[in-house]
Amino acid sequence: MTDYIARNRALMRFFVLPTIFLTVVLLGGVRVSSDTRDFVFLAPPLITLILAALLMVLFVRAGALDLRGWIRSDQPTLTNVSHSLLLVAVFFASAQAFNSVLPESGLFNWLFSFFFLWTLWNNQFAEFDARRLLRSLVVLFGTAFVLKHLLLAGFYGPSEGWLKKIAGVVLQGISLGTIDLPAYAPATGYISFFTLALYVAGLVLLTPAPDRHPPADGQKLIEAQPQKLSPDEQLEALRELVRAL
């Protein structure tokens, strides 16, 4: 059982998580042209890198990431390099997640950027744990997704939707040149939804440190009929309890 646990954890660290976050990095800047249906790749703006840096600080403060647990002097060099590259992938995946829900230009780009920046900056001074931070990110990205890919996409889409008609009546005579946005195909919203779902899934699977696991598991192994545990299982349970201390 110990061998299976070690193999699954190694598979998660060195293959599954890098694949998830690198896929988010790739898809976060993908748009689909409304005219030619070609793929358009947009590099992450500078503001998304700043937002990703603030988010990484939140991960560390909330205990979702323990940098000293990922990069240690008692680990092989290749392991430290692999862990470092994974953390870099998390950073750029966070930037691309913001890029996916950030309007490309105009006044709304500034409004969304200010909304993200203000929220993350205020959170720097709030008390967070890993679960609360994850719930907060789901709400944050979910709200931005609805505003961009449902409301704004319906307003600036090529078709005459009900939202565009209502806004045309309300804003009749007002120039909208300063808030104009490029129109993309509806497939862009699907790609963004998949990107955000994949990003959140990666954060759920990401442990604070490679060797840190819930202490309740080891405690349950010891409390639940310890006489039936093999010596290897007892040793593994004791190791998990020691790591949690």
Tokens standing for residue 36:
């030619």
Res 96: pLDDT: 96
Same structural domain, 227 and 189: no
Residues 6+ positions from 99 with CB-CB distance below 8 Å: 28, 29, 42, 44, 45, 48
The per-residue DSSP string of 95-130 comes to: HHHHHHHS-SSSHHHHHHHHHHHHHHHHHTTS---H
16 band by pLDDT with thresholds 50, 70 and 90: very high
CA dihedral 74, 75, 78, 81 (to 10 degrees): -80
pLDDT tens for each residue of 191-237: 999 999 999 999 999 988 886 544 444 444 444 445 555 565 566 66
In sequence order, what are the beta bridge partners of 40?
A: 31
180 and 80 housed in the same domain: yes
Q: What is the SS3 assignment for 172?
A: coil
Q: Are residues 92 and 185 in the same domain?
A: yes
Please tell me the predicted confidence (pLDDT) of residue 229.
Answer: 52
pLDDT at 149 over 70: yes
Pick the closest to residue 151 from 119, 194, 111 (CA basis): 111
Question: Rounded CA gap, 102 and 97, in Å?
Answer: 9
Separation of alpha carbons 245 and 237, rounded Å: 13
Report the domain count for the chain.
2
| Least-confidence region, from 119-123, 161-165, 236-240 | 161-165
Domain assignment of residue 244, given as a range: 216-245
Least confident of 16-20, 91-95, 130-134: 130-134
Cα–Cα separations (whole angstroms), residue 172 to 15, 153, 169, 208: 54, 20, 5, 53
225 in the same domain as 143: no
Burial group, residue 54, by CB count within 10 angstroms (0-12, 13-18, 19+):
middle
Check whether residue 201 and residue 240 sit in a common domain: no
**Residue 112 in this model has a pLDDT that exceeds 80:** yes
- Considering the domain architecture, whether residues 131 and 21 belong to the same structural domain is answered as yes
* pLDDT band, residue 94 (cuts 50/70/90): very high
Pair 62, 122 in one domain: yes
More confident residue, 181 or 168: 181
Q: Does 141 share its domain with 35?
A: yes
Inform me whether the pLDDT recorded for 186 exceeds 70. yes
- Residues 46, 165, single domain; the answer is yes
Rounded Cα distance, 227 and 234, in Å: 9
Residues 112 and 187 in one domain: yes
Q: Do residues 240 and 155 both lie within one domain?
A: no
Q: Give me the chain's average pLDDT, please.
A: 79
Query: Do residues 8 and 111 share a domain?
Result: yes
pLDDT on residue 154: 64
**Least confident stretch, 26-40, 147-161, 201-215, 225-239:** 225-239
Residue 28 — φ and ψ, nearest 5°?
A: -65, -30
Model confidence at 28: pLDDT above 80: yes
> In this structure, how many other beta carbons lie within 10 angstroms of the beta carbon of residue 199?
25
Per the model's pLDDT, the better-predicted residue between 143 and 74 turns out to be: 143
